[in-house]
Structure 1
Amino acid sequence: MEHLLRYLWDNNATDLHLCAGTEPRVRIDGKLFAIPGSEPLSVDFLDAVLTGLLSEEDADTYLADRQLDFAFSWADTARFRANAYFQLDRPALALRLIPSQIPTPEEIGLPESAASLLTRPHGLVLMTGPTGSGKSTTLAAMIGWINRNRPLHIITIEDPIEYVHPPQYALVNQREVGQDCESFEQALKAALREDPDVVLVGEMRDLETIQLTLTLAETGHLVFATLHTNDASQT
């Protein structure tokens, strides 16, 4: 597994796909390529990789649900968002590289109109778009700016945690669904009693999560959240 992650890193790839019965593939500049000289991966190899990455509890969930979202760190080099799943009754794994450095709003070209939201005292900021459009990276840059520049309490609720925000000028507490809390709903209810100024909701998946997110925004908090949509009308 180490040599596959190294190949991804050395070739500026964004994604790594591991499927039993086929060669490992990486995504470079939006296109998938088989890693040169690689051979089809065995079920035993994928099982060993997942055993090394998953806790016993996560492994049980993966086998029961036949899929699992999680994240992990590769030494001090990088962090990955991962989805383990089954296809043709065989294990598979998709990895997305998360940059180790949190980008600044300037580095991602955040418009001035959006940057002005970072100093708001309260309200709801929705980051919308299809998968891979940069929602997580944009929110990470915005939370990173607040962390560096405002003396506030930030709570993030994610599944899984992607970017890690060490406290700087702000106090940052990050909660991962399934590890630090049972659900988005539970964490949002608790957040109302945890004196937050800023709350990041990784994904609004259901009606109760949406209602609690709106309640936070209406009660004097600055709330950031994402929605998976393809266009403005869907949003």
Structure 2
Amino acid sequence: MKLIVFGASGGVGRQVVGQAVGAGHDVTAVVRDPDKVAGLGVRTVMADLLSVESAVLTAAISGADAVLSAIGPLRNADAGVAAKGTAAIIGAMREADVRRLVVVSAAPVHTTPSPGRPHPPKRDPDDPFFLKYVIYPIVKAVLRPRYADLALMEDELRDSDLDWTAIRPVQLTDKPLTGDYRIALGENLPGGRYISRADVAHCMLRALERPDMVGQSVGVAD
């Protein structure tokens, strides 16, 4: 498959590129700084999603079978990049007539309100008591701008006419690829705490072969 990867210089994005190349896919990385992916051995397109002209993105995406995006805010100060960047990707995909899009979101988005989803569940019912009432509320309060950005990103997906999938991992680690993880369509996983970036990338590529994941947010955990 011909794949376009956004956010290819980040932890998950680099894993997506490496695994896609290893599986024989034709990969193009769209990044702000090509030097950061110089060692990955793939074609690159230099573009800042928040300022690039739409024609540049359309040209980069044209002829692709699918687009994978690992963009997202690394800090609260970066909040906004996911929603705005994804909106730019969606617009370019429409222009290029490319339909399949897989993005990285986050498990807490399941309980984060947004304009398109104002009344989500307040908590994941199957989580252990201490996680549900102590740990997760603290984490969500501290990282609220990031999760709000990802929730707005998912609004963009739902409002699009694309064949999208949003992968919602729990806390990320740098452990190696296992391919042995749990997924749940439309919800988070009971007791899910961790998953490696490598396994998240594996799940993103796996989604390209799973019609049942189209139009779904997918919880993933080890």
TM-score computed with the length of structure 1 as normaliser: 0.29
Name the structure where strand makes up a greater proportion of residues.
1
Larger Rg: 1
Q: Whose helix fraction is larger, Structure 1's or Structure 2's?
A: 2
TM-score, structure 2 as length reference: 0.31
